[in-house]
Amino acid sequence: MKYLAPTVALLFILISGQTALAAGNPSRGLEKSQACQACHGKNGNEAVDQNTPILAGQHAGYLEYALKAYRSGDRQNALMNGFAGDLSDQDIADLAAWYSRQEGLVTPVIGNK
Ligand code: HEC
């Protein structure tokens, strides 16, 4: 009983720490990808042309990095600056979770996928 309060406190810290990380939700990512599908396809494999990248199977961390760079304007592309401009960090995490889990690019597993 003596350890109950510290244990509860520790659990609380652990749980709140978890929710602070914007974990991506793939099914919400699919819902949010309606506008993306016209060019990248439903699962990120059906790129409309050779200038449109395959997103399926790409590392989630890279997809987030790329989308944040389009959003901030660090990476310039007339189409993608527009599509990423209104995305929140949570939208980006969800979209990255969706596309990274699809069969497509074969990438070596480095860190979190
Ligand atoms: C009108 C077509 C179009 C739409 C719609 C579109 N994209 Fe793109 N996307 C592109 C093109 C073209 C590129 C390559 C741009 C470049 O050269 O930087 C790209 C690049 C990307 C990249 C970078 C991939 C890499 O390998 O570097 C990501 C990630 C991405 N798009 C995600 C999305 C998401 C998520 C959405 C929806 C919110 C979306 N795109 C909507 C055409 C589109």
Do residues 86 and 80 make contact, with C-beta atoms less than 8 angstroms apart? Answer: no
Residue 59, both tokens: 């590392």
pLDDT tens digits, one per residue of 71-80: 999 999 999 9
The residue whose CA has the least distance to atom 12 of ligand 1 is: 52
Task: Assign 5 a pLDDT band (cuts: 50, 70, 90).
Answer: low
Position 19 scores a pLDDT of 44
d(CA 89, CA 91): 6
Which of 30, 34, 76, 80 has most ligand 1 atoms within 8 Å of CB, for mutation?
80
pLDDT tens digits, one per residue of 24-73: 999 999 999 999 999 999 999 988 899 999 999 999 999 999 999 999 99
d(CA 62, CA 73): 16
Task: Assign 9 a pLDDT band (cuts: 50, 70, 90).
Answer: low
Residue 2 clears pLDDT 80, i.e. is over it = no
d(CA 23, CA 42): 21
Position 95 scores a pLDDT of 98
d(CA 30, CA 34): 7
Do residues 45 and 104 make contact, with C-beta atoms less than 8 angstroms apart? Answer: yes
d(CA 12, ligand 1 centre) in Å? 39
The residue whose CA has the least distance to atom 34 of ligand 1 is: 36
Q: How many whole angstroms from its chain centre is CA 101? A: 10
Which residues have any ligand 1 atom within 6 Å of their CB?
A: 33, 35-36, 38-40, 51-53, 55, 63, 66-67, 77, 79-80, 83, 95
Going from the C-alpha of 56 to that of each of 15, 71, 72, 104, the distances in angstroms are 31, 20, 23, 5
